Structure formats: C-alpha cells, structure tokens
C-alpha cells in the first residue's frame, strides 16, 4: 500500500491503482466477459469474421476458421471452447481494439491505456519532474543570494 500521508509523492496512476477495488477472479465471469468483448470488437471492426480468422491464421501459423471464431464468441459455448489467451494480442491488433485486453486487465485490478495516452502521461510526468527540479534550483539560488547579501563586504 502506498503512503497516502504525502500525496505529493504519489503519481495519479499509482493512486488510481491502489483505489481500484480488488476483484474476485471467477473463470465463469472471465469467460462471459471475454466472449462478449471479442464479439463487440468483431462487430466494431471493418473486417468480417472470415477476414479476421484468415489474418489470425496467417499471423499465428495456426488454422483458425470462421467457425472457430464463432465458437470462441458464442455465449452458448460458454466454458467449452475458450479463446486462447496467447491469441489476444494478435486478435486485438487485427480488429484494432483493446477491449479484450481491458477485460483481462480489469480482472486483476489493472487498466490498459493506448500508446498516445501513454506518451501524454509520460510527457506530463517529465514536465512535472522538470518543474520540480527548477523549483529546487530556484530555492537554492535564492538561498545563495541571501547568504551573499548577509556577508560583510571585504573592502579595505
């Protein structure tokens, strides 16, 4: 657990991480949520199920058919044919969706951000770090200036 006594030392993301509720991991819940997110991602994709299956087959070097994809996403197949976790990244890349990753991350109390958002956060963090260093340097210079003013001059 983070030290909440000094929030200035905590980043926004670390605060979010600790404040997220811890979730019980149920295989049944994950199965349903993942099937739903896969289906949603397919529906939002500009590709057909046949095209998605073909691209996955090509990239993974494993035969994946439309029927296979259907069995992974059908609610009626719950608990029988599960989508292999090692295919999630390829699937997300093909359909241009991070929803399935978000579902999995959420179940372990994490979240997924896309590359541009990650760059924005990193950039903002660097700016805050620079501001902090400049403030410290300014404080040091002011202290030095005050020290120079208080010294008696060495004029003969």
Name the burial class of residue 95, with classes exposed (0-12), middle (13-18) and buried (19+) by CB atoms within 10 angstroms of its CB: buried
Tally the C-alpha atoms within 13 A of residue 67's C-alpha that lie toward its C-beta.
1
Question: pLDDT digits over 54-109, tens only?
Answer: 999 999 999 999 999 999 998 876 667 788 989 999 999 999 999 999 888 888 77
With CA atoms as reference, report the closest residue to 103 among 86, 88, 93. Answer: 88
With CA atoms as reference, report the closest residue to 33 among 82, 97, 66, 94. Answer: 82
Sign of the Cα pseudo-torsion (82, 87, 88, 93, in order): negative
- E strands, the chain, where? none
CA Rg value for the chain: 26
Model confidence, pTM: 0.59
């Amino acid at each position: 657990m983070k030290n909440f006594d000094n929030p200035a030392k905590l980043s926004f993301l670390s605060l979010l991480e600790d404040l997220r509720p811890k979730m019980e991991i149920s295989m049944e819940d994950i199965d349903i949520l993942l099937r739903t997110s896969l289906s949603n991602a397919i529906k939002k994709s500009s590709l057909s199920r046949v095209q998605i299956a073909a691209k996955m087959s090509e990239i993974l070097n494993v035969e994946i058919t439309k029927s296979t994809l259907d069995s992974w996403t059908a609610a009626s197949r719950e608990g029988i044919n599960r989508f292999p976790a090692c295919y999630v990244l390829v699937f997300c890349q093909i359909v241009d969706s991070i929803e399935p990753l978000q579902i999995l991350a959420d179940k372990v109390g994490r979240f997924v951000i896309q590359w541009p958002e990650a760059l924005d956060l990193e950039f903002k963090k660097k700016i805050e770090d620079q501001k902090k260093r400049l403030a410290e340097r300014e404080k040091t210079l002011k202290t030095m200036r005050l020290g120079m003013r208080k010294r008696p001059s060495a004029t003969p």
